[in-house]
Every structure is written in structure tokens, then in C-alpha cells.
């Protein structure tokens, strides 16, 4: 699925990670994929992450879900906003908003957050560390855009929301259903609902910080290391001042760290697993009954399409000689030959029918059965 009048190459060149862009309704025919009631229902569920932001004069208060159903009836006249994370994991129609953005790699895509706001509602002026496409689903929202912020930008003291202490509006637009606004990381923005029933879909991206990368990779490396792998100096010679840590010792100590961190192959494998780890690992997507390979082969022969679980993350890293490492939901599956071709298709398509040649391959059917039994593929989503 493609967006109308939207030149992806020009967008990546001129706007992606650079500056905001307003895109007037680029959809073939826009239909709001979720009703306000359905969104409120999700916010009451245990396994769904949600927040309710209520406003009084110019202050914002945040409550974390799951919310009691009665909470919505208690809301008064002052503006409020409900935010629900990862709605694409639960609602196929919302997951269907993502394919037009697949010109950006799978590992960079995070989730679709959906908001509902009453008249005047919003989360206040803020900035995010991530790129986002803000798609107006229902009603109208006035978006104000400010300047570039960073971790030194002054914030209002608030325990939950990163609200800006000062906000100078540089540009503003009113978005109607189907319109969308791209906001790069760090750009101050503020969305205010105009009239009631304002729904916004945020297609959000991820970009790891250096701090997160180093910390998380080291967490993974440490348990694999042993206490007997130590600094050694059998070549020690007498030095003038015993207080000096000689350059040669620093070099050797530093190399103990950099050699480990320079292992690109180990890093690639770890990063594939890390970046494909499910965001909500406590949700169990496994089928009630595990499937046997023969049964699966039969279903594939009848051309039943298989669907990727919208909550699963699929990516791969290419290796030598047609081999690759497939990463799904935090697991690594080394693939070669037909399974490598299958892996490429799995990463490129949300749904597929397995061709007659591949069905004959035990390795293909076994990999598909494993992915089915782990809850990463199913015949039902779609």
C-alpha cells in the first residue's frame, strides 16, 4: 500500500530526521480505523499500556491505566486526553496503518499510539526523542511546531510528562481526518483538539541511544565472561616510579575492553535479538494447541495464507554465501538456502502463501511450525 502524492525518496532526503512536514490526506480513502469507544475499552484492559491526561487551567495531570470503566463517566468539562500505546498489536485495522511506512526499516518502527481528546485537550507542548507521523483519524487538531530541543532544554517540573517550560510557536496547522504531520526527534510540538472527538494515530519510531546500546550489550556480555580471563604481565620490568600506570599497561587494559566490543559479528547477532525483543513480553501469543509439521504442511498445501503477528518484530542480518540470521521476537534463527529465501519474504510481507516448491522443504515447514507455535505467525490475523 502506498501513500498518494508522496515521494518517499524526496521525503527521506529532505525531511526525515531533519524538519517537520505537513502532508494533506495522502490516503486512497481515509477511514478512521478505531472508534473512541473501542479505544476506551482497550485502556481498561490489564495488558494494555495507557494514560489519561486531564487538564486544569494550564496544568496537566497523568493517570496510568488500566483505567476503571467508570472513570470516563467521571470526566468533567475540562479538557482531557486518553493515550493508548501499541494499539497496532491488538487491532488489525490499526496495524494496517503501518505498511505505507515500510520504506523505513522494520527495526526502526516502534508502534502506533492512539489518542482521543475532548475539545481543547492535548498532552501539552513537549518534544520526543523519536520520529513520529501524526495521522489525524477523527475530528480536528491544531498542531503547533516550535524549535529544536535537547536534554538541556528547560522542562516544567512534572513527574510523568516532559512538558516544555517555554514554547515559541513557529508554525501551525489544523489537521483534518486523513491529514498527517511528520515531526523529527527533538522538535517541540503541541496538539490541541478542536471540537470534540479528536483521534490521532502516532506512528512512532525507535532509535537507540548510545547509553542504552552500551549498557544493554554489556548486560548481555557480562554473564558470558569468566573470572579467569584477566590482565596478565609476564613481561613486567622494573619501572622508575612505582606510582606510574605505564602506557603499555593502559593499552593492554583498554584492549581487553575494545577487543570484546569490536566483535562485529557478536554485536550483529545481539542487536538483532535485542531489537526484535517484544515490547510486552508478558503477553502470550502462543496458539492454544501446538501444530505438527504434517498438519501445517497440509494447510499450506491448501494455500491458506499465513499472517505475521502484528506484535512481533521481524528482521534479518545478511551473512556470507546466501546465509542470514533471522530475528523474530528476540530469537535468532540461522537460515541458509530455502529458509534464507523464506526469511527474506517473512521480513518483507505481512501475509503470504507458501509456494509449492518451498512446501516440500522440511526445513521450511519446520521453521514455519516453530514460528507458528511461538505465536509469531498465525492463520487468523488478517
CB of 113 to Co ion, least distance (A): 9
Q: How far is the CB of 101 from ligand SIN (least distance, A)?
A: 16
376 binds ligand SIN, rule: CB under 6 A: no
Cell of 259: 577487543
User: With CB under 6 A, what is the number of residues at the site for ligand SIN?
Assistant: 11
What is the Cα–Cα distance from 272 to 264, expressed in whole angstroms? Answer: 12
Question: Which residues contact residue 40 at a Cβ distance below 8 angstroms, ignoring those fewer than 6 apart?
Answer: 72, 82, 116
Q: Which residue is at the shortest CB distance from ligand SIN?
A: 115
* Smallest gap from residue 126 Cβ to Co ion (A): 6
CB crowding 266-277: b at 16 or more within 10 Å, else e: ebbbbbbbbbbe
85 interface partner picked from ligand SIN, Co ion, none, CB below 5 to 8 A per type: none
Query: Collapsing DSSP states into helix, strand and coil, what is residue 23?
Result: strand
The grid coordinates listed for 80 are 482531557
Indicate which single residue of 20, 65, 122, 272 sits in contact with ligand SIN (rule: CB under 6 A).
Answer: 122
Residues in the chain: 382
315 binds ligand SIN (CB under 6 A): no
Query: Mask 141-180, x = binds ligand SIN (CB under 6 A)?
Result: ----------------------------------------
CB of residue 190 vs Co ion: minimum separation in angstroms? 9
Rounded Cα gap, residues 35 and 39, in angstroms: 6
Closest approach of ligand SIN to the CB of residue 3, in Å: 20
CA 352 to chain centre: 23
**Residues near 185 by beta carbon (within 8 Å), at least 6 away in sequence:** 17, 127, 128, 129, 130, 131, 207
From candidates 33, 125, 191, 272, binder to ligand SIN by CB under 6 A: 191
Piece of the chain touching ligand SIN by CB under 6 A; list 44-52, 68-76, 127-135, 348-356: 127-135
Sites of contact with ligand SIN (CB under 6 A): 81, 115, 122-123, 128, 132, 134, 189, 191, 200, 202
Amino acid at each position: 500500500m502506498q501513500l498518494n502524492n508522496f515521494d518517499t525518496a524526496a521525503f527521506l532526503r529532505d525531511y526525515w530526521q531533519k524538519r517537520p512536514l505537513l502532508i494533506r490526506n495522502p490516503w486512497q480513502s481515509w477511514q478512521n480505523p478505531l472508534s473512541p469507544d473501542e479505544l476506551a475499552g482497550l485502556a481498561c484492559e490489564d495488558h494494555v499500556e495507557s494514560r489519561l491526561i486531564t487538564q486544569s487551567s494550564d496544568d496537566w495531570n497523568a493517570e496510568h491505566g488500566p483505567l476503571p470503566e467508570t472513570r470516563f463517566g467521571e470526566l468533567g468539562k475540562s479538557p482531557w486526553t486518553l493515550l493508548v500505546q501499541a494499539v497496532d498489536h491488538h487491532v488489525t485495522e490499526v496495524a494496517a496503518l503501518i505498511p505505507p511506512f515500510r520504506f523505513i526499516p522494520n527495526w526502526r518502527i516502534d508502534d502506533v499510539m492512539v489518542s482521543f481528546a475532548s475539545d481543547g485537550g492535548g498532552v501539552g507542548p513537549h518534544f520526543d526523542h523519536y520520529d513520529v507521523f501524526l495521522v489525524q483519524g477523527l475530528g480536528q487538531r491544531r498542531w503547533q511546531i516550535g524549535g529544536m530541543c535537547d536534554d538541556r532544554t528547560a522542562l516544567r517540573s512534572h513527574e510523568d510528562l516532559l512538558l516544555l517550560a517555554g514554547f515559541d510557536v513557529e508554525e501551525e496547522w489544523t489537521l483534518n481526518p486523513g491529514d498527517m504531520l511528520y515531526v523529527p526527534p527533538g522538535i517541540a510540538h503541541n496538539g490541541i483538539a478542536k471540537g470534540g472527538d479528536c483521534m490521532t494515530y502516532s506512528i512512532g519510531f525507535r532509535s537507540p541511544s548510545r547509553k542504552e546500546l552500551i549498557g544493554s550489550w554489556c548486560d548481555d556480555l557480562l554473564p558470558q565472561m569468566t573470572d579467569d580471563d584477566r590482565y596478565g604481565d609476564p613481561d613486567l620490568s622494573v619501572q622508575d616510579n612505582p606510582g606510574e600506570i605505564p602506557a603499555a599497561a593502559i593499552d593492554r587494559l583498554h584492549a581487553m575492553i575494545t577487543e570484546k566490543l569490536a566483535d562485529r559479528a557478536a554485536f550483529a547477532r545481539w542487536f538483532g535479538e535485542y531489537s526484535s525483543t517484544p515490547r510486552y513480553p508478558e503477553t502470550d501469543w502462543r496458539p492454544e494447541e501446538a501444530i505438527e509439521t504434517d498438519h501445517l504442511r497440509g494447510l499450506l498445501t491448501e494455500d491458506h495464507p499465513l499472517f505475521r503477528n502484528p506484535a512481533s518484530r521481524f528482521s534479518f542480518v545478511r551473512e556470507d554465501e546466501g546465509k542470514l540470521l533471522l530475528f523474530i521476537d528476540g530469537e535468532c534463527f540461522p537460515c541458509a538456502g530455502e529458509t534464507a529465501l523464506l526469511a527474506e519474504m517473512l521480513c518483507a510481507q505481512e501475509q503470504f502463501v507458501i509456494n509449492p516448491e518451498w512446501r516440500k522443504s522440511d526445513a521450511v515447514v519446520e521453521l514455519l511450525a516453530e514460528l507458528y507455535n511461538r505465536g509469531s505467525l498465525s492463520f487468523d490475523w488478517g
